[in-house]
Amino acid sequence: MIAAGEQAPEFTLRDQDGEEVSLSDYRGKKVLLVFYPFDFSNLCSDQLSLYQEVKPEIEAKGVTMLGISIDHPFAHKAFQEKLGIDTTLLADFEPKGEVAKAYGSYVDAIGMANRTLVLIDEDGKVEWAHESPSPGEFPGPNVIFDALAS
């Protein structure tokens, strides 16, 4: 997993609307990358729904939240609509998991990202990172708020 103090790897991915989004678009702002395994799984649905509930508090701290999984932009759009969320979802679709691999979140044995949170500062450096013990557990919002408070 990527470590605090490292330069965050640059990327450009398509969002749920097919638009290109680059990490450099957020230079000068803090960004929270939320890597998660798949759209539509029960646990991912719970995680993204819960994060949506606390998103206003995260944004009030000057942080933009971006979800990233290996799903296609079309799946992201349907997932976003099903959950009723407005979090930007980025497709690490092709080459599969390239961004998750760059951040050390990809689990080769199962072909998906683990549940990893990466807070990037205004200058593009990793400020904090957290990886769940397994894709079957997601970090609660308290983990995010503890990181933002420190």
Residue 45 and residue 17: Cα distance in Å, rounded?
19
Residue 83: active-site member: no
How far apart, in whole angstroms, are the C-alpha atoms of residue 70 and residue 14? 11
Q: Which one of 8, 31, 44, 85 is the catalytic residue?
A: 44
Which tokens belong to 68? 């990233």
Burial class of residue 104 (count of CB atoms within 10 Å of its CB; 0-12, 13-18, 19+): middle
Q: What distance in Å separates the CA atoms of residue 9 and residue 103, rounded to the nearest whole number?
A: 7
Q: List residues with catalytic annotation.
A: 44
